[in-house]
Homo-oligomer: A and B are copies of this chain.
Amino acid sequence: MIITSRDNPNVKRIAKLTRRDQAKKEGLIYLEGTRLCEEALASGQTAEEVIVSEDRTGWAEEFTPGIEPLVLSKSVFQKISQTVNPQGVALVIKEPQENNEIPFKDDGKDIYVVLENTQDPGNLGTIIRTADAFGLTAVIVSPTTCDPYNDKVIRATMGSIWHIPIVRKTMDECFGFFDKAGIDTLAMHLNGSELGQSVLKLPCAYFIGNEGDGLTDETSSRCSRLVKIPMRGKAESLNAAVAASVIGYELSKLI
């Protein structure tokens, strides 16, 4: 049955979930577009709901067999869609990492990136992608860091959002865990000693601060050491995702 009314209760429910704040409250994620949906499914995420426009039922048969899709008329799909030219394909899935524990391989090679108040979704997405690429154990985000399941973040991760654990923790919880587990803690800080003059060792967690303000003094002071990436030009600082990538790359050499 093709739903042709925006007032259909199922449509109303999905339309509500397209608002990130609403989906988040329910522990759900609304994904739209073939790339995002197919990446999530390929990485083992399970669809709670499948929503397609009337001309994309073939997609649902191929990618979500066994799940009855909600089939909307093209105009109704357009109305709930977040994009100007919708691809007619959307999923509702559960947020992963519900237990929210910091994973620990305990093989002496754990690497964590901890983000304290990262605000730019593109930076967060790029850091998650890079953390996956370099084989980090997890990405840990502070409560004030932007929502990892924001659409822009998910897009920027290029699928890595489903490959690496993302854990939301306070700085207190982080230091509690790292101290107990004997994990070295590095603050990325413009007053730090230059990488190369600082001995890196694993297991290690490195802390990246807010794009404009850097790490808070409190967090910096709780880390074992402050380090910075050497700079030779006139730039005063590096982009947060670039800084996270360079230190992540150096640490991954030790795995």
* A residues at B contact (CB < 8 Å): 43, 122, 126, 129-136, 156, 158-160, 163-164, 196, 229-239, 241-242, 245-246, 249, 252-253, 255
Contact = CB atoms under 8 A, between A and B. Distances in A.
Tell me how many chains of this kind the complex includes: 2
Contacts of A159: 234-236
Contacts of A230: 252
Tell me the interface secondary structure of chain A in the complex: loop
A219 B239 CA distance: 28
Contacts of A131: 233
Contact of A235 (B133, B235, B237, B255): B133
Nearest to A131: B233
Given A196-B253, A245-B245, A164 B132 contact: no
Contacts of A134: 231-233
Contacts of A246: 245-246, 249
Contacts of A241: 126, 239, 241-242
Given A249-B229, A249-B246, A129 B239 contact: yes
B196 A133 contact: no
3 nearest interchain CB pairs? A135-B232, A133-B235, A132-B233
